[in-house]
A and B are shown apart, each in its own frame.
Chain A
Amino acid sequence: MTTQDQVLPDSVKGRSLWDDAFRRFKANRAAMISLIVLVFVAAFAIFGNYLTQWDYETVDWFALEDVEFYGKPAMTHPNEYAAEIGTAPHYFGTDSDGRDLLARLVQGSRISLMVGLMGALVAVVIGTIYGAVSGYMGGKVDSLMMRAVEILMSFPFMFLVIVLMAIFGRNVLLIFIAIGAVSWLDMARIVRGQTLSLKNKEFVEAAIAQGVRTPVIIMRHIVPNVLGVVVVYATLLVPQMILFESFISFLGLGVSEPQTSWGALISAGADSMRITPWQLIFPLLALTITLFCFNFVGDGLRDALDPKNKK
């Protein structure tokens, strides 16, 4: 029976680093609001198709007649005859092919959110571990691992996409593989740079002196200390990957019609922005709101995960 047992009753629990981080995150108003907005965006992507009777591929012939006028966003169908016979209105208007923009935006949100999150996830997991191992091991291992990154960075990426397309055909899986292949490279370089400087710090030396094994040092001492940069860069990657998907689609290699994505909608909307501005505004708004929220959540996470932050 030690004195400590008497002083500390069972009901008092220690606060772990994760508890602290969670508490700090909850205290950050901008991050919490952004998180709630992101939940709404996700709900929109998942359940948004119940908001309209249209689906993303059906052409509204009444609207197609004159998209500039009948395709406008409205609460009732602008075409009087169509409204009379009970055609459902287009709350967000239609695209240039007379398809309901709200339904297409829902469909595009699914693809774009998946692409963005998947790119960020691959980058965080593979990029962080790869970079930390490369930087910590140093010497020949580092040299070999970094030369591999250099080769992948300058690879004729377009040909990779073309070959993948020949193998898989035009489908969503292809975009994921292509994006997964490139998203982690920059992250690996950045984490490696941080690791090079971290591995000379006293706490790593202390761990080595205590006989902690190398994989444990990397996972328990190096990785948590690079998480700040990783989180910030990951939030930058989400928009990059969403736009990168749209770049692939822009070149005609990404998602195929009638499926769509934010990037594809934005690039289609940009072509006709002076005649039918809503076709650009709604997808751009969706992208903007999401990206801003990701940034504030990222900043909140960064602050919360920083163990030096005593607030």
Chain B
Amino acid sequence: MLKFMLKRLFVAIPTLLILITVSFALMRAAPGGPFTSEKTPPPAVLENLNAKYNLDKHIVVQYGIYMRDLILYQDFGPSFKYQDRSVTEIIEGSFPRSAIIGLWSFFFIIIIGIPIGIWAAVKQNHWQDYSVMSFAMSGVVFPNFVLAPLCVWLFAVKLGWLPAGGWGDGQFNYLILPIFAMATSYIAQVARLSRGSMIEVLSSSYIRTARAKGLPTSIVLWRHAMKPALMPVITYLGIAFVGLITGSVIVDQVFQTGGIGQHFVQGATNRDYSLILGVTILAGALSILFNAIVDMLYTALDPRIRY
């Protein structure tokens, strides 16, 4: 186990290096620059700005400077757009907020999505199955850029039950709407995946044997069917988890939560090179970490799996 994790950690370094290098090259291949957007400053100012951010140097030199600062000083550099703040400060300020919303969403996705999926599988092609799945699917059908403004209008403006947006020091009533907007479509997907894979497991011969032995349905479900049925769900949850804690640009914009999700998009539109690289490295590291965790969970769910 420890050896596996250490090996993964070791491979993570070249993986991240490739990610940074390719992203760096791709960003510079994109037309436009951080100071060419709305109002272009006078040439002299632009020259100074470019010099300050090393943009006047050759791209390979810039890459070298960035990697030196990153590796030697763990410095993600200054933001191009928010000129008084460093990328580290921006991430430190916004990531915890998205992580809190994401963790809560993840919690609800698991305690709602998996049980209703399994229930629908047990009642396959009965009215319970159809109604649960239709209910879950309505979460996918309403895209969150429709759902989020609708929630604000209904629960904040019309009914006045919940605050319309903002962070509010992380009080739970400020988090309810963002969590709802984040979690609904994931719940539906987890429910459908659990249902499909549970149906498949329930029709396999060892489950028939267990039933033939006269074991009660609950034991058959939890002891025998649960683990193999969860395999694809766990894979999906690992991917979803990274997506959840790195936030969503729509949730951040509609609810003004100040999360990190908005930086993935706004950073790109502003050509804020260092900010985008910062959030990309964060997302990459998280993605590598959680894929490794999922791989470890596989061995727990199916002991025959060896790496």
Contacts and interface: CB of A to CB of B under 8 A. Distances in A.
B88 interface: no
A155 B20 CA distance: 9
Interface string A97-119: 00000000000000000000000
Interface string A284-311: 1001100110010001001100101100
A154 B193 contact: no
Interface in A256-299: 263, 266-267, 270, 273-274, 280, 284, 287-288, 291-292, 295, 299
Contact of A190 (B19, B137, B141, B235): B235
Interface string A19-55: 0000000000010000000000000000000000000
A252 B234 CA distance: 34
B228 A270 contact: no
A78 interface: no
A287 B141 contact: yes
Given A287-B141, A295-B137, A193 B235 contact: yes
A73 interface: no
B245 to A, nearest CB: 13
A308 B204 contact: yes
Contacts of A309: 203
Given A150-B288, A232-B197, 18 more contacts: A138-B307, A151-B15, A154-B283, A155-B280, A156-B276, A159-B30, A163-B29, A186-B236, A193-B231, A197-B228, A200-B302, A228-B200, A229-B200, A229-B232, A236-B189, A240-B140, A263-B143, A302-B200
A197 to B, nearest CB: 4
B141 A147 contact: no
B203 A308 contact: yes
Contacts of A228: 196-197, 200
B60 interface: no
A267 B277 CA distance: 30
Interface residues of B, number: 68
Contacts of B298: 193, 196-197
Interface string B265-300: 101110000001100100110111001001000100
B268 to A, nearest CB: 3
30 contacts: A147-B11, A147-B15, A155-B23, A156-B26, A158-B276, A159-B276, A162-B30, A166-B31, A186-B239, A189-B235, A193-B234, A197-B231, A197-B298, A200-B302, A228-B196, A229-B197, A232-B193, A232-B197, A233-B232, A240-B140, A247-B145, A270-B145, A274-B153, A284-B141, A284-B146, A291-B140, A291-B141, A292-B137, A308-B205, A309-B203
A280 B234 CA distance: 35
B26 A159 contact: yes
Nearest to A28: B125
A308 B200 CA distance: 9
- Across the A-B interface, give the 9 residue pairs with the lowest CB-CB distance, nearest first: A158-B268, A232-B196, A154-B284, A200-B304, A193-B235, A154-B283, A308-B203, A197-B302, A162-B30
Contacts of A151: 15, 18-19, 22, 284
B143 A266 contact: yes
A183 to B, nearest CB: 13
A250 B249 CA distance: 11
Interface in A122-166: 138-139, 143, 146-147, 150-151, 153-156, 158-160, 162-163, 166
B305 interface: yes
Contacts of B242: 153-154
Contacts of B143: 243, 246-247, 263, 266-267
A76 interface: no
B199 interface: yes
Contacts of B76: none
Interface of B: 11, 15, 18-19, 22-23, 26-27, 29-31, 125, 130, 133-134, 137-138, 140-143, 145-146, 149-150, 153, 189, 192-193, 195-197, 199-200, 203-205, 228, 231-232, 234-236, 238-239, 242, 250, 264-265, 267-269, 276-277, 280, 283-284, 286-288, 291, 294, 298, 301-302, 304-305, 307
B131 to A, nearest CB: 13
Interface of A: 30, 138-139, 143, 146-147, 150-151, 153-156, 158-160, 162-163, 166, 186, 189-190, 192-194, 196-197, 200, 228-229, 231-233, 235-236, 239-240, 243, 246-247, 250-251, 263, 266-267, 270, 273-274, 280, 284, 287-288, 291-292, 295, 299, 302-303, 306, 308-309
Most interface-central of A166, A193, A251, A308 (chain B CB within 10 A): A193
A129 B193 CA distance: 20
Most interface-central of B232, B265, B267, B280 (chain A CB within 10 A): B232
Contacts of A291: 137, 140-141
Most interface-central of A146, A156, A189 (chain B CB within 10 A): A156
Contacts of B149: 270
A30 B130 contact: yes
